[in-house]
């Protein structure tokens, strides 16, 4: 941001390459910072890492040996260097709880979170964009107010509470959807894991009964996440559309006699689509956060539940590994939204 003015000359000469280098450098620095923060958090824990390895009955000699093996006698900066080397070779340490490498655990649970968040963001986009457009077109009128209040409710309700109420009403009382979990046990071994996304796996293998069961499990938590991303997406769509509808090309189109629906849905929305893509990418990242609470409520075996289970068992390696992975995905999505913005908007692309 601040560098853009100073490096203006260079950026005109080599617009895209320079921008890419700068972006990569800043992302690399951010990653390094993420690692340092998780490393520091790991160091202030009151849990003694040596005790969690040797147990509290070990002799002083064993304790001292493990203390040195873990590198705890070295200076902090050297410890950080060791941590970095380990992380870059994919070694996040072993989980205290499952006794397996953290990375394996995370790879195992991640598809569940991915599936849920993707379903949620799709629902949020399908509902949020038209609602935002409606609110912008009917600005200040009843429809606008209704969309606004629906959005603010989404911003205000605790997601875990709505989840519990949803389970109470749609699962326990009405029986419309399946309860907590991803799939009923009776179907669980029907599907050969391929992508780890159960909806896709079951559809590809033609197991339609299992597909239905999975769908009835995922629909409630996904709608919930979808509602929260809808609140955000509809609000942003509204403001982008208001911005576009005030532009002169809209007036020109009206004068030309273009039908109003075409002006709104084709001319204006197309221009609003560019910033909207970044908003959708950001709301996707936000759903990762929402998934921690949602997964706890719905017993969804994803990253969020893994994280909270590890927390409750003071499994610090797993907590930090999970935090780091979520941070990396978060940064990655932000980067992606930046890149998409550049790719989709010819003006930004040319300016460099």
Residues that bind other proteins (CB under 8 A): 2, 26, 29-30, 33-34, 36-38, 41-42, 44-46, 148-149, 152-153, 155-162, 164-165, 167-168, 172, 242, 246, 285-286, 288-289, 292-293, 296, 307-308, 311-312, 314, 316, 319-320, 323, 326-327, 330-331, 334
Closest CB 175 distance from other proteins, rounded Å: 12
- Closer to other proteins by Cβ: residue 187 or 306: 306
Minimum distance from residue 33 beta carbon to other proteins (Å): 3
The nearer residue to other proteins, 94 or 190, going by C-beta atoms, is 94
Instruction: Specify whether the CB–CB gap between 166 and 219 falls below 8 A.
Output: no
Q: Smallest gap, in angstroms, from Cβ of residue 296 to other proteins?
A: 7
| Burial letters 23-53, b for 16+ CB under 10 A, else e | eeeeeeebbeebbeebbeebeeeeeebbeeb
Minimum CB distance to other proteins, residue 20 (Å)? 18
Query: For other proteins, which is the closer residue by CB, 37 or 340?
Result: 37
Q: State which residue, 129 or 318, has the beta carbon closest to other proteins.
A: 318
For other proteins, the closer CB: 59 or 156? 156
Q: What is the DSSP string of 291-349?
A: HHHHHHHHT--SHHHHHHHHHHTT-HHHHHHHHHHHHHHHHHHHHHHHHHHHHH-HHHH
Q: Provide the minimum distance between the beta carbon of 293 and other proteins in the complex, in angstroms, as a whole number.
A: 5
**Closest distance to other proteins from the beta carbon of 202 (Å):** 29
Residue 168 DSSP SS3: helix
Neighbour tally for 117: CB within 10 Å: 29
- Helices assigned H by DSSP within the chain: 3-6, 8-13, 15-44, 49-54, 60-69, 76-88, 102-137, 142-156, 159-166, 185-188, 198-204, 208-245, 248-256, 260-262, 269-298, 303-312, 316-344, 346-351
Beta carbon nearer to other proteins, 187 or 227: 227
């Amino acid at each position: 941001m601040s560098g853009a003015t100073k490096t203006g000359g260079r950026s005109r000469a080599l617009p895209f390459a320079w921008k890419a280098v700068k972006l990569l450098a800043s992302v690399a620095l951010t990653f390094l910072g993420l690692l340092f923060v998780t490393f520091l958090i790991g160091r202030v824990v009151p849990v003694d890492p040596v005790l969690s390895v040797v147990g509290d009955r070990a002799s002083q000699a064993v304790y001292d040996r493990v203390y040195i093996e873990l590198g705890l006698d070295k200076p902090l900066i050297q410890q950080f260097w060791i941590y970095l080397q380990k992380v870059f070779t994919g070694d996040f340490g072993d989980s205290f709880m499952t006794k397996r490498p953290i990375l394996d655990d995370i790879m195992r649970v991640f598809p569940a979170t991915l599936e849920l968040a993707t379903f949620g963001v799709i629902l949020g986009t399908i509902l949020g964009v038209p609602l935002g457009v409606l609110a912008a077109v009917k600005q200040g009128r009843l429809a606008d107010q209704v969309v606004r209040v629906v959005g603010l409710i989404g911003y205000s309700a605790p997601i875990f509470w709505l989840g519990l109420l949803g389970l109470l009403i749609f699962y326990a009382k009405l029986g419309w959807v399946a309860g907590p979990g991803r799939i009923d046990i009776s179907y669980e071994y029907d599907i050969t894991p391929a992508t780890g996304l159960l909806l896709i796996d079951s559809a590809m293998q033609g197991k339609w009964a299992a597909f239905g069961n999975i769908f009835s499990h995922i629909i409630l938590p996904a709608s919930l996440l979808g509602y929260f991303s809808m609140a955000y997406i509809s609000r942003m769509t509204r403001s982008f559309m208001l911005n576009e509808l005030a532009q002169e090309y809209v007036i020109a189109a009206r004068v030309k006699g273009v039908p109003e629906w075409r002006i709104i849905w084709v001319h204006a929305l197309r221009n609003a689509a560019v910033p909207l893509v970044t908003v959708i990418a950001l709301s996707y990242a936000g759903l990762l956060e929402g998934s921690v609470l949602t997964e706890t409520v719905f017993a969804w075996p994803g990253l969020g539940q893994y994280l909270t289970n590890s927390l409750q068992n003071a499994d610090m390696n797993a907590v930090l590994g999970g935090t780091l992975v979520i941070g990396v995905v978060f940064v990655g999505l932000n980067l992606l939204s930046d890149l998409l913005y550049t790719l989709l908007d010819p003006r930004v692309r040319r300016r460099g």
